[in-house]
């Protein structure tokens, strides 16, 4: 199963303060925007998302069909195929993609310790 690019999405209190902190660690803004209340930041192959007021807690994020530079790659496993695989393994999903659609969609689940996992397909 190919999950695509991996990043950690962090719920931050102050986007500006968090941006400065991660820039001091060598990360550079790669996507998003201050006006959008989120930034995607990159340091070599490491990706983090900083999100102010969008969700609670932190989220492990996978993007099927994208590499670590947000570039499309083929072939990739569609989020609906990943969903079907996880269901077949008895894993409960907390948000599901519509099996009758194609293109962008997402699923969510939690690991045994309650860590939220987002599989977010953008194409």
**DSSP result, the chain:** ----EEEEEEEES-HHHHHHHHHHTT-EEEEEEGGGTEEEEEETTEEEEEEESS-SS-EEEEETTB-TTS-B-SS---HHHHHHHHHHTTPPEEE---TT--SSEEEEEE-TT--EEEEEE--
Q: pTM of the entire structure?
A: 0.87
For range 69-75, the mean pLDDT: 91
Report residue 69's pLDDT band, with 50, 70 and 90 as the boundaries.
confident
Q: Which residue segment(s) compose the domain that 60 sits in? A: 5-121
**Band of the pLDDT at 77, cuts 50, 70, 90?**
very high
CATH code where residue 31 lies: 3.10.180.10
pLDDT for 72: 95
113, pLDDT greater than 90: no
Does 66 score more than 90 pLDDT?
Answer: yes
Domain tally, the chain: 1
Q: What is the mean pLDDT of residues 107-120?
A: 95
């Amino acid at each position: 199963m190919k999950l695509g690019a991996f990043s950690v999405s962090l719920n931050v209190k102050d986007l500006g303060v968090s941006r400065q902190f991660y820039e001091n660690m060598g990360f550079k803004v790669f996507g998003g925007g201050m006006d959008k209340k989120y930034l995607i930041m990159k340091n070599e192959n490491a990706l983090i998302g900083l999100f102010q007021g969008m969700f609670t807690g932190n989220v492990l994020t996978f993007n099927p069909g994208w590499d670590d530079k947000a570039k499309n790659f083929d072939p990739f496993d569609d989020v609906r195929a990943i969903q079907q695989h996880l269901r077949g393994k008895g894993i409960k999903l907390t948000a599901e993609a519509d099996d009758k659609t194609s293109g962008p969609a997402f699923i969510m689940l939690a690991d045994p310790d309650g860590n939220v996992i987002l599989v977010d397909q953008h194409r």
